[in-house]
Amino acid sequence: MSHKRKILQGSASNLLRLILSLLVSLVVPPFLVHRMSTAEYSAWVLIMQMSAYVNLLDLGLQTGVGKFVAEHHALGDRETSTRVLSTSFALLAMTALVGAVVIAFLTWRVPQLFHQMPRDLVSSVREGLLAVGLSVAFTLPFGAFMAAFTGLQEYWFPTILAVLSRVLSAATLVVLLLVHGTLVELALVMAAFNVVTAVMQFLGWRKYVKARVDFSLAFFHRATAVRLVRYAGVLSLWMVAGLMVSGLDILIVGHYDYKHTGFYAIASSVTNFMITIIGSIFGPLLPAVSSLQAGSTPNRIGGLLSRATRYCTLLLCLMGLPLVFGAYPLLSLWVGHNYASRSALYLEVLVLGNVIRQLTYPYALVVVATGRQHLATIAAITEAVVNVIVSVVLVQRIGAIGVALGTLVGAFVSLGMHISISMHFTQSTILIRRSHFVLRALLRPLLCLTPSILLFPFWKRLNMLPANPALLAISAVLTLAIAWRVGLTAEDRQELMSAASRLLYWRVQQT
């Protein structure tokens, strides 16, 4: 199977999982916001956010497993792949213990972290955080088994498992909300599903992958551990930087402006949907580039990057435009007027910021796939530092919107640093002229924003219909036309049409 087909297969599988998970994610928040007080919903959001911090102790090891399994499987080296999986599991088990300690510390410090939180919620938040956080720590090592599927570029089992887990956990949460379940009961449900999912990951590996990538704690290999740690060491800096960019924002709002935490979280969850879509579609670039790296030239990898970035930019624009222009009506239909009127501005700023920072997402994936992530770390660190400083300074002056503005400022810093510095140092493995990258991969597809910019003077923020229907229709048609005829090259259009034809032919054959 060609690398392009593998990327498309992985993207399609991830996208299917995402669409089904997204449908689930759209159902639960309205139940939460309508059956909890604003303070309780804010507490729930903080429990889930702090528990998610444990995933940072992955330290990039799962990415390393996917990369090295892809490389060694391509070479037919089953023994080394086995060592990679076994060693990574042991390393992740060690970091999981650290995660349990972190959760215990955060549980103890809840009253100090969120001094504006109603006192009657503190006990429930502590119990909920302990349950969910420890369950996330338990699941951490089992992610290595899913990373083996990724390295083999087989996505069907992770897709099915993720969808089932999300659907069943969401259904259980909804039932609990309907019978007036408590915050602690909701947390216990999430913890139980986390543990069950982890066990299923192991069973899935044993049934479908063991023959190609074996596992045993006896296969722990010191040299492999050093290799994984060296590779993942820089990635861990990226993950910490990612935490400072998008993981601390709700915590900062909760600390300085607790009463707006729930409203900010609603906006943040929508932008997270957008980021997850981009990650699902373009994530397969990493194992694909890793597997073909040995036989590819830097020029070929640069060409692949240019095309992927062009697609990514167009997709970001087409997703971001309705979220910016239709923030209030979309949120109002989803969670009601009360949350929509208070969350719309946060959503608009966060979407702009995340569109800008995700423009270089394909570049970051290719950098990691080629093992050159240490050359691009300065951009991630600089963005994180700027983001946190601006957020903390502004939240104390203008409230939660200051945190959203911190994301926007940091995004511009990240984009500028990657283009001006990171791409200069990665030329030996990713050969692409920066002027070509900016003009053809970024600015060309960004031209599809022109109709929306012209529509801006007619935009009414808090109306269910933000502009005249005729103007909206004309703008939408022009946007799609420019995206197709200008944003894409002739080769891009031909390849997309060919892919669509193959998909249609496959559907006909199946029927």
Run of H or E residues at 431: none
Give phi and psi for 436, each to the nearest 5. Answer: -65, -45
CA atoms of 106 and 103, how far apart (whole Å): 5
- Better-predicted residue by pLDDT, 95 or 282: 95
The residues, ordered by sequence, that sit 6+ positions from 150 with a Cβ below 8 Å of its Cβ are 65, 66, 69, 70, 158, 287
Contact 152, 212 (CB under 8 A): yes
State residue 442's pLDDT score.
92
Q: Is the pLDDT of residue 267 over 60?
A: yes
Mean pLDDT over the full length of the chain = 83
- Domains of the chain: which residue ranges? 1-232, 248-511
State residue 294's pLDDT score.
53
DSSP tally for the chain: helices H, then strands E: 25, 0
State residue 243's pLDDT score.
63
Contact 430, 272 (CB under 8 A): no
Contact 21, 57 (CB under 8 A): no
pLDDT band of 1, cuts 50, 70, 90:
very low
Q: Is the pLDDT of residue 511 over 60?
A: no
pLDDT band of 2, cuts 50, 70, 90:
very low
First to last CA, the chain: 23
The tens digit of pLDDT for each residue in 108-157 reads 999 998 988 889 899 999 999 999 999 999 999 988 888 777 777 676 77
Helix ranges (DSSP H) in 222-260: 222-242, 249-256
- Better-predicted residue by pLDDT, 228 or 453: 453
Contact 412, 356 (CB under 8 A): yes
Q: Is the pLDDT of residue 501 over 80?
A: no
The residues, ordered by sequence, that sit 6+ positions from 433 with a Cβ below 8 Å of its Cβ are none
State residue 509's pLDDT score.
56
State residue 432's pLDDT score.
87
Q: What is the DSSP letter of 443?
A: I
Percent of the residues in the chain that have a pLDDT greater than 90, as a whole number: 33
Q: What is the mean pLDDT of residues 402-419?
A: 93
Q: Is the pLDDT of residue 506 over 60?
A: no
pLDDT band of 428, cuts 50, 70, 90:
confident
Q: What is the mean pLDDT of residues 442-450?
A: 92
The tens digit of pLDDT for each residue in 165-199 reads 888 888 888 888 888 888 999 999 999 999 999 99
Q: Is the pLDDT of residue 344 over 50?
A: yes
Contact 56, 235 (CB under 8 A): no
Judged by average pLDDT, the poorest of 101-115, 205-219, 226-240, 272-286 is 226-240
The tens digit of pLDDT for each residue in 367-388 reads 877 777 777 778 888 888 899 9
User: What secondary structure does DSSP assign to 277-339, as a single string?
Assistant: HHHHHHTTHHHHHHHHGGG--HHHHHHHHHHHHHHHHHHHHHHHHHHHHTHHHHHHHHH-HHH
Contact 379, 359 (CB under 8 A): no
pLDDT band of 17, cuts 50, 70, 90:
low
Amino acid letter at 367? V
The whole-model pTM stands at 0.79
The residues, ordered by sequence, that sit 6+ positions from 383 with a Cβ below 8 Å of its Cβ are 241, 245, 357, 410, 411, 413, 414, 417
